[in-house]
Structure formats: structure tokens, C-alpha cells
Amino acid sequence: MARDKYQTLTEQMFYILICLTQESCGVDIMKKVEELTNGRVIIGPGTLYSLLDNFVKEKIIIETKIENRRKNYVITSHGTEMIEKEYLRVTKLKNDYEMLIKGGKEQ
């Protein structure tokens, strides 16, 4: 059985999708991700627009409007389910780390 293409999300995918909980264009997404991560994650235009095209094809996001070359997007319910699953997966990793490495102690 083939592995689901989006079973886990890269950081770039995750940040793009959380940015699209509010309607945004590509340039706005790149700025939001850089600001949100204090420059730790930077998404170049090639990566961004490739991912946006794939997300549209997979119905993870939809185009909301097109003005000249500027396209706006927003996440779909399917996309929202994906980021929620990813959040739960990463939270489970964090919890396992704390249990095994930190001995379950809160810091």
C-alpha cells in the first residue's frame, strides 16, 4: 500500500497551511512565515508556488481570487484536518521526548 503523500508535513508545508487559515497571496505567505518563525523558516518562491499548485490540485487549499498575476488562497476543511493531524503528531513526539528524556518532568 502506498504511503499517503501528505501523511506528514514538512515545516514549509505546515507553515504555508497555517498561514492560509486567513486568505493570503503568495508574497504575504512568505512574509508571514518569515515573521512567525523569526527568520528560521524561509520559503522561496519556487518552493512556495510549487506547493501551492499541488495543494490546489489535492483540494487542500482553494484559490479565492485572481487579480493580474496575484492569486489569493485559503485552506479547505481537508487542509484544516491535515494541519490538525500534524499538530497532534508533533505534540505526540514532544510528549514522548518529555516522558523518555526529561522523565516526565515539566520545565
Domain assignment present for residue 24? The answer is: yes
Query: How confident is the model at residue 104, as a pLDDT?
Result: 58
Low-confidence residues of the chain: pLDDT under 70: 1-4, 104-107
Give the pLDDT confidence score for residue 71 in this predicted structure. 96
Q: How many domains does the chain divide into?
A: 1
* Residue 1 belongs to some domain of the structure: no
Residue 70 inside a domain? The answer is yes
CA–CA distances in Å: residue 64 to residues 24, 25, 26, 93, 101: 9, 10, 12, 35, 45
Please give the residue range of the domain that contains residue 35: 11-100
Specify the pLDDT at position 69. 86
Residue 6 lies in a domain: no
pLDDT score of 73: 98
Digit-coded pLDDT (tens) for 37-59: 999 999 999 999 999 999 999 99
Residue 51 maps to which CATH number? 1.10.10.10
In this structure, is residue 51 part of a structural domain? yes
Model pTM above 0.85: yes
Q: From CA 100, how far away is CA 66, in angstroms rounded?
A: 49
